[in-house]
Amino acid sequence: MSHNCLFCKIVAGDIPSKKIYEDELVYAFHDINPQRPVHILVIPKHHLTSLQHASAADEPALGRMLAVAHKLAVEAGSPGGFRVIINNGEIGCQEVPHLHAHVVGGDQPVGPMLKRQA
Ligand code: AMP
Ligand code: ZN
C-alpha cells in the first residue's frame, strides 16, 4: 500500500466506498461523482500510479480490469454497452494518482468520445 493514496485506502477499507466487486487483483466501486447513470471505477489492488508507470508485472491486473468491465456494467444497469476511460498523467487529466478505469454507461448513449473544444 502506498501511503496517502486515496484509492489504496479504499482498497484497504480505511476510507469507505460503494464496493461492487473484488477479487485477488482488482477492486471496483461506484464513482463518488457519477457522470452517467452507471459510473464504476475499476482499480488494481496494488498501488500503480498510472499506465505511465506500468510494467509486465502489472499485466495480470491490467487484463483483469478490462475482463471484468462487461459483467460489472451489465450488473450495474448498462446491458447495451459501455465506455472504458483511463486518464493518465497531467496531459491525460488524471486527478487521482492510482490507476483506475472509468466504466460509464446507462440506458442512453454516453455521447461524444471527448468534450468538443471551443
Ligand atoms: P480521474 O480524473 O480520471 O483521476 O478520475 C478520478 C475519479 O475519482 C473522479 O471521477 C472522482 O469522482 C472519483 N473519486 C474521487 N474520490 C473518490 C472517492 N472517495 N470515492 C469514489 N470515487 C472518487
Ligand atoms: Zn494507491
- Please give the chain's pLDDT, 118 residues, in tens: 667 999 999 999 999 999 999 999 999 999 999 999 999 999 999 999 999 999 999 999 999 999 999 999 999 999 999 999 999 999 999 999 999 999 999 999 999 988 777 6
**Cα distance between the two ends of the chain:** 41
Global pTM value: 0.96
Specify the amino acid at residue 25: L
Query: Could you confirm whether 3 is annotated as catalytic?
Result: no
Residue of minimum CA distance from atom 18 in ligand 1:
32
| Marked catalytic residue, from 39, 98, 100, 102 | 100
> What is the layout of strands, in order, in the sheet containing 26-30?
19-22, 26-30, 38-44, 101-105, 83-85
